[in-house]
Chains A and B, each alone.
Chain A
Amino acid sequence: MSNRKKNKRFLLMSVMILIFSITLLGCSSESVENSDSTSESSNMITFAWPRDIGEMNPHIYNPSQLFAQSMIYEPLVSYQDGGELKPHLAESWKVSEDGKEYVFNIRQDVKFSDGTNFNADIVKKNFDAILKNADMHGWLGFIPKIDQTDVIDEYTFKLTLKEPYYPTIQELAVVRPVRFLGEAGFPGDGDTSKGVEQPVGTGPWVLDEYKVDEFAIFKRNENYWGELPSVEKIKVKVIPDAETRVLAFEKGDLDLVYGEGVISIDSFKQLESTGSYGTSISEPVATRQLVMNTNKEQLSDVRVRQALHYGFNKQAMVEGVTSGLEEKADYILPTNLPYTSHVDTTTVEYNVEKAKHLLDEAGWILPEGKSVREKDGKPLEIELMYNSAESIQKTMAETLQAEWAGLGVKLNIVGVELTTQVERFKANEFDMNFFSNYGAPYDPHTFVNIVATEGFGFREAISSYPNKEEILNQIAEVQQTIDENERQQLYTAILSSLQEQGAIVPISYIKKIAVYQKDISDFTFPANRDEHPFTGISVNE
């Protein structure tokens, strides 16, 4: 055999051996790593999440996942069903008469997972770290209003605001950024925005093992001050694809699938229909709304807006599009949120004749032989923007297009990316848009606040309301009032007026779903939209 031939054969063989060895090397090294890491436990719940849990830092946002942060870190106040605010790390609190001073009595039996004490000093240290980046946290109403933080004694902490702001207590229940990191977690310069040393919290869970993009195992914090969870470990597998999550669940690799939109409606229905699994649907967490820009000529007339509300079969649409997983909404905020249950407004029932009559009355007449109504020679044409990645929005837009075509309204539907949708909404470059409120513990105050905020779409949406100024004043007032009754009255007036004039149309109440294996019991949805659901859950042996 010639040398050249030998060389070629050698080259080919080398390439093949290289491919083999790299592949096998990868497999073997990983399997070794994996064999020491996954110590399976019978009292462990495995569930899937679309994204990696991220850095377990209580004071930052992306890419940290809210549910995971809430497993490790706790708030001073916790948000409970019906909007009740209960003491958590703070045993009690007192608000001064002028609504500016909040004095918290800190619970004395709380220790961080590393055994150190939870006291007023560490509360202040956390607040100071948050305030160092106040700009970043400015979206949370009370943060920019903080004037001073003081340690009164070891277990008493005082928060002083520049002006009264009643939702302070409610905002203390959010998952980030006002939860508490232990001393050992702070970096040298105390600036947690750049990262934490270790995830030390007071919560019922501690991070035990973690592999980026693959899994995280949380184990029970045996020193937890509250009631210990009955499950020893929670394993979170990162499974980005919804269909794969369903298949992994069917195979039994997962005990629980939980969240909003984590699996498709069809998959949920199919799993439910087998009867082999437990399923739950939560109380409403938010309302899916249709926001109309009253700055646009066609939508400036309240009769047109109301006609459009009367002109689609909400019940049929919700059932058809969400297979009944969402519930037809009569109010622009779910009524299980604080101050939302007294809204006084006419509930709108599907009535095509009334819709047509209202459009005629508004001067939009259907010329003979034409399919679109006209006024002064201009057709009644409206654009609806939806998030193209959200199949529910897309299908609802198509349904509305068909329903309103029957009324003689030409609806042009435009699918855009989420970021474009937000940008266009803020820049008032829209006729109609889908929106959903923030849910607990943010609403109703966050929702009314953005309605009043310049450059958020809503202020323009209500621009032709005759009582717009009055609503804006009421919104400013409701945040400052310390009288509970007055606050209730103001909210009732604001929400009733916003809805009555039809620029914000409630469509459906969004809900969370859970599917679990039959050996899982006591599953309940947390009242706080962002919290984890693992506290009461148990596995039957």
Chain B
Amino acid sequence: MGTYVLKRIITIIPIFLIATLLTFGMINLSPVDPAEAYFSAAHIQATDEMLEQKRHEFGLEQPLIIQYVNALIKICQLDFGISYVTNKPVWEEISSRMQATIQLTLGSLLIAILVSVPLGFLAGIKKNSGIDHFSRFLSFIGASIPSFWLGYLFIFFFSVKLDLFPVEGTGTWKHLILPSVTLAFPLIALYTRLLRTSVLENSQESYVLFARTRGIREKIIIGKHVLRIAISPMITGLGMNLGNLMTGAIIVEAVFSWPGFGRYFIEAIFNRDVPVIQGYVLLAAGIFLISNLIVDLIQMCIDPRIFRKGRQHQ
């Protein structure tokens, strides 16, 4: 098991390197000159000398490969450079906004789990019942309505019309509810259906039949055995979605004026603030890689057969 974990950690390094290369390449493929973008964001008509000086300041006159290697060395030291716009270290800017994004992400993850686990489970064991139809309806909405639109609808009904929650900002737990629910909605749709299918499939498995013939009560079979196995794909989904959640928070943060780093990233894109874009994309890549690793490890603890199967194939 130790070797497996080590191997998984080592494979992260080349993947991360590829991510840095892709990010760097894509940003440099963009036809927009960051120096030009810097001045147009400040509504200044830049002269050629001003542009030249800014390019020099940003280190853009160096060959691409040197720019890349320099950036890579700095990233290893958690130095993502200085924002072109605010003149402050990117890591400082991102980390100061990180708490708000993590709070939102965890809030929505919690809501997604609290809603989808019982709903998906009940929909699975009571197929074609009222609750199953309800879960289907909820999943349909969650999968088809874009987050920003859902956000506006929530604000309109729950804030403006019913005055139950604030429209925007942070401060109390009430501020967290609407953005978290908005962000959680697509996840609820996904997990509910995933769990329902998984419960249905597992109910047909031979171990269930065997348990029944042994005279074990249905509640125990479903609650203790089926649910435990059925929840496994959902955990994989959670891991995959943690990264999605962090990055998906961008839209929700903008709609609810949530001061997280997603919003900061949007502004960086408009301003062509290359160090920030680079820092954000790499951070997102890191989150994806690490959350997948954690999920794999949790899976291994819950269901060691996955790990054993992997080893047999080697």
Contacts and interface: CB of A to CB of B under 8 A. Distances in A.
A306 to B, nearest CB: 29
Nearest to B231: A12
Interface stretch (A17-25, A108-116, A339-347): A17-25
A213 B160 contact: no
A238 B260 CA distance: 12
Contacts of B257: 214, 237-241, 244
Q: Which of A23, A139, A194 has the most CB of B within 10 A?
A: A23
A27 B50 CA distance: 45
5 contacts: A135-B50, A211-B259, A214-B259, A253-B166, A423-B36
A418 interface: yes
Nearest to B34: A419
Interface residues of B, number: 60
Main secondary structure on B side of the interface with A:
helix
A152 interface: no
B31 interface: yes
B102 interface: yes
Contact of B173 (A19, A27, A38, A135): A27
Contact of A138 (B32, B49, B107, B155): B49
A418 B40 contact: yes
B99 interface: yes
A26 B99 contact: yes
B37 interface: yes
Nearest to B266: A240
B53 A135 contact: yes
B109 A19 contact: yes
Given A240-B263, A244-B256, A139 B171 contact: no
Given A27-B176, A213-B97, A419-B32, 7 more contacts: A8-B302, A27-B173, A34-B171, A139-B46, A211-B259, A214-B169, A253-B166
Contact of B272 (A8, A15, A240, A419): A419
A240 B40 contact: no
Interface string A117-158: 000000000000000000110110000000000000000000
Given A27-B176, A238-B257, A418-B40, A423 B156 contact: no
A8 B228 CA distance: 11
Interface of B: 31-33, 36-38, 40-50, 53, 85-87, 96-97, 99-100, 102-103, 106-107, 109-110, 152, 155-156, 159-160, 163, 166-173, 176, 254-257, 259, 263-264, 266-267, 271-272, 298, 301-302
Interface string A1-31: 0000001100100010001101110110011
Interface residues of A, number: 54
B94 to A, nearest CB: 12
B167 A11 contact: no
A417 B33 CA distance: 12
A247 B42 contact: no
Contacts of A61: 42-44
Contacts of A524: none
Contacts of B109: 19
Contacts of A237: 168-169, 257
A455 B48 contact: yes
A248 B107 contact: no
B45 A63 contact: no
Contacts of A7: 301
A88 to B, nearest CB: 22
B50 A251 contact: no
A132 B58 CA distance: 20
A144 B202 CA distance: 78
B103 A22 contact: yes
Q: Which 4 A-B pairs have the closest CB atoms?
A: A61-B42, A213-B259, A26-B103, A34-B171
B167 A34 contact: no
A250 B156 CA distance: 9
Contact of B40 (A38, A239, A419): A419
B96 A212 contact: yes
A423 B259 contact: no
Contact of B103 (A27, A51, A62): A27
Contacts of B48: 455
Contact of A31 (B38, B172, B256): B172
Contact of B33 (A139, A253, A419): A419
Nearest to B167: A248
Contacts of B106: 19, 22-23
Given A19-B110, A34-B172, A253-B166, A11 B301 contact: yes
Contacts of B254: 240-241
